[in-house]
């Protein structure tokens, strides 16, 4: 009987799903993915999760509850660090323990420790440890690892070409070519900066990217800028931000400030996230110095679509009016 392994459609799923799916399927496992976040998943997660964690983690609990009775095991990696000089949020570090403490009758949990500060080629070592647990031999595990690594590289490349994350998932898994066309007729360029697990979850983010695009806005996200650019820009902050994902957001913002090719920034944060609050303030300070408009959207389970739409419409209108004034001023003195 084929082993069914459950992957919650939340948190790190939005960064690594193509690699995970390719790896496990190459090992002969049946990957079971939870559905897109909905009200029932959120409500169940909120009931079980501790109060002081942010909304994406509460959603994760709901996804685990959906999967736990229909799979043989759950894949819940324990993330520590994604590089030599950084860490992830402590809640990622303790996620497997929090789930075990709050949810009864969980199936076996595959929870490798992802700490990329140590060892030579730690991802490969972790892949072999997981594969041996499913009785894979060396050659089959190595083949699965290499295919997963190639899938991940392709996923990153597609995003840097301007493909949205969820579309990039489909292209990688279907082995399809990119069909990104140059967008015509957009009234302005706005960067929507925030964690992928916030922006790409349509229920949590209330479809903020799609709503802006419907208003005629060309949207860019953190993942659409090369990592080396983000790291180089983030280094301009005099004191290093060591929270990995927050550093990527800040680096994308600082890169945009230097490039100066956007009309505004929408920064999306999770209520209760300390590193988000810190980076938000740093970006606000720099944006004021650069005279770039920034809209801060803070999300939790009480956020309302009506309020979001009102703020987005007002922000787009503000930028459009400012651009018209600048155009008139240029025409007058030209």
202 and 281 part of one domain:
yes
Query: How much of the chain, in percent, has pLDDT values that exceed 70?
Result: 93
Does residue 5 carry a pLDDT above 90?
Answer: yes
**Domain with 304 in it: what CATH number?**
3.40.50.11900
CATH classification at residue 104: 3.40.50.11890
Q: Please check whether residues 204 and 311 belong to one and the same domain.
A: yes
Is the predicted pLDDT of residue 330 greater than 60, yes or no? no
Whether 131 shows a pLDDT value over 90: the answer reads: yes
DSSP states of 245-306: HHHHHHHHHHHHHHH---SEEEEEEETT-HHHHHHHHHHHHHHHHHT-EEEEEEE-TT--HH
* pLDDT at 180 (0 to 100): 58
Give phi and psi for 226, each to the nearest 5: -60, 145
Residues 158 and 302 in one domain: no
The model's confidence at residue 51, banded by pLDDT at 50, 70 and 90, is: confident
The answer on 34 and 93 residing in a single domain is yes
Instruction: State mean pLDDT over 83-89.
Output: 86
| pLDDT mean across residues, the chain | 89
Q: What is the pLDDT of residue 22?
A: 96
Q: Specify whether 24 is located in the same domain as 169.
A: yes
Over 90: is that where the pLDDT of 66 sits? yes
pLDDT, average across residues 119-142: 89
Angstrom CA distances, 141 to 17, 43, 133, 182, stand at 18, 38, 11, 40
Q: What is the spatial order of strands in the sheet that 188-193 belongs to?
A: 217-220, 188-193, 264-270, 293-299
- pLDDT (0 to 100) of residue 75: 97
Of 114, 138, 173, the residue at which a domain comes to its end is: 173
Same-domain check for residues 151 and 297:
no
CA–CA dist 308, 205 (Å, integer): 10
In terms of domains, do 166 and 213 share one? no
Q: How many CA atoms, within 13 angstroms, populate the side-chain half-sphere of residue 89?
A: 18
Task: Name the domain count of the chain.
Answer: 2
> Are residues 139 and 250 both part of a single domain?
no
Instruction: Name the percent of the chain lying above pLDDT 90.
Output: 60
Domain membership of residue 71 (yes or no) is: yes
Q: Which domain holds residue 169?
A: 4-173
Token pair for 161:
């070409």
Using 50, 70 and 90 to split pLDDT, how confident is the model at 178?
low
Q: Are residues 275 and 193 in the same domain?
A: yes
Same domain for 315 and 213, yes or no, is yes
- What per-residue confidence (pLDDT) applies to 15? 95
pLDDT (mean) for 80-95: 89
Sign of CA dihedral 31, 36, 39, 42: positive
Question: What confidence score (pLDDT) does residue 260 get?
Answer: 64
């Amino acid at each position: 009987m084929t082993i069914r392994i459950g992957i919650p459609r939340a948190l790190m799923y939005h960064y690594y799903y193509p690699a995970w799916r390719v790896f496990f399927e190459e090992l002969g496992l049946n990957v079971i993915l939870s559905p897109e976040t909905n009200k029932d998943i959120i409500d169940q997660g909120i009931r079980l999760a501790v109060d002081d964690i942010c909304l994406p983690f509460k959603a994760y609990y709901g996804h685990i509850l959906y999967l736990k009775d229909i799979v043989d095991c759950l894949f819940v990696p324990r993330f520590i660090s994604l590089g030599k000089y950084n860490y992830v949020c402590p809640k990622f570090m303790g996620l497997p323990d929090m789930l075990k403490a709050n949810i009864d009758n969980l199936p076996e949990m595959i929870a490798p420790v992802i700490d990329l500060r140590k060892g030579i080629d730690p991802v490969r070592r972790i892949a072999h440890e997981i594969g041996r647990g499913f009785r894979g031999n060396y050659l089959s595990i190595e083949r699965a690892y290499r295919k997963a690594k190639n899938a991940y590289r392709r996923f990153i490349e597609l995003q840097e070409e301007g493909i949205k994350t969820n579309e990039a998932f489909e292209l990688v898994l279907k082995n399809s070519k990119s069909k990104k066309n140059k967008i015509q007729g957009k009234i302005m360029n706005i960067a929507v900066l925030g964690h992928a697990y916030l922006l790409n979850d349509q229920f949590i983010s209330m479809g903020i990217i799609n709503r802006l695009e419907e208003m005629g806005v060309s949207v860019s996200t953190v993942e659409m800028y090369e990592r080396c650019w983000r790291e180089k820009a983030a280094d301009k902050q005099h004191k290093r931000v060591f929270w990995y994902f927050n550093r990527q957001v800040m680096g994308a913002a600082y890169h945009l400030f230097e490039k100066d090719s956007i009309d505004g920034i929408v920064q999306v944060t999770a209520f209760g996230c300390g590193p988000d609050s810190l980076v938000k303030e740093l970006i606000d300070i720099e944006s004021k110095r650069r005279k770039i408009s920034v809209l801060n959207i803070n999300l939790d389970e009480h956020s309302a679509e009506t309020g979001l739409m009102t703020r987005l419409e007002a922000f787009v209108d503000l930028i459009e009016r400012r651009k018209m004034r600048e155009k008139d001023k240029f025409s007058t003195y030209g």
